[in-house]
Amino acid sequence: MLSLFFIAIGLSMDSFSLSIAGGAAVKSPKIHHVIRIAFFFGFFQAIMPLIGWFIGESLNKFIGPYDHWVAFFLLSSVGLKMIYNSVKNKNKKKINLLDYKMLFLMSLATSIDALITGITLEFLKVPLLISVSVIGFVTFLLCFIGFWLGEKLSSVSEDKTEIIGGIILIGIGIKILIEHLF
């Protein structure tokens, strides 16, 4: 359960950082704006691992003996990608998360890593409904907080949150590998 919680935090970091950026770009947001943004990110972060889980379930008979290596590779790849994107994209333009099209696209884009991570949930035998609920709720909560933080403290660096999320996912991948090898 602790690993699941840390996976949820790691996956939500890119959504959290976008929420901070979105909050910094909006003057005097209304509570329904913040709830909508947090809901979109939380929903997509919850639904994508569900889809990934079904993909992982169908691959389990082929990959079962190597599942720890697959989990390590996928989680580490997602983590490294988050760190790379954070360092690479120094000149980010402000985004308007109040625009439904932008919110949909950003929610989808930030949840691709959750799809990949969902594949590993089947290999780890983590309960599906609990997994997607925790991932969705943690993302909702962090995005809700992140949007308000962004509005109040627009100088907070959202790049650091993506780096932290990437490090968490890599750490969990290493933990899974070590547990299965030793």
Contacts 24+ apart (CB under 8 A), 107-112: 107/15, 107/40, 107/41, 107/43, 107/44, 108/44, 110/14, 110/15, 110/18, 110/41, 110/44, 110/45, 111/15, 111/41, 111/44, 111/45, 111/47, 111/48, 112/48
CATH classification of the domain holding 164 = 1.20.1250
pLDDT tens for 12-37 read: 988 888 888 788 777 778 899 999 99
How far apart are alpha carbons 103 and 146 in whole angstroms? Answer: 15
pLDDT band at 156 (very low <50, low <70, confident <90, very high): very low
Q: How many distinct structural domains can be found in the chain?
A: 1
pTM over 0.75: no
Domain of residue 150: give its range: 2-181
The CA–CA distances, whole Å, from 152 to 21, 145, 148, 169 equal 11, 11, 6, 28
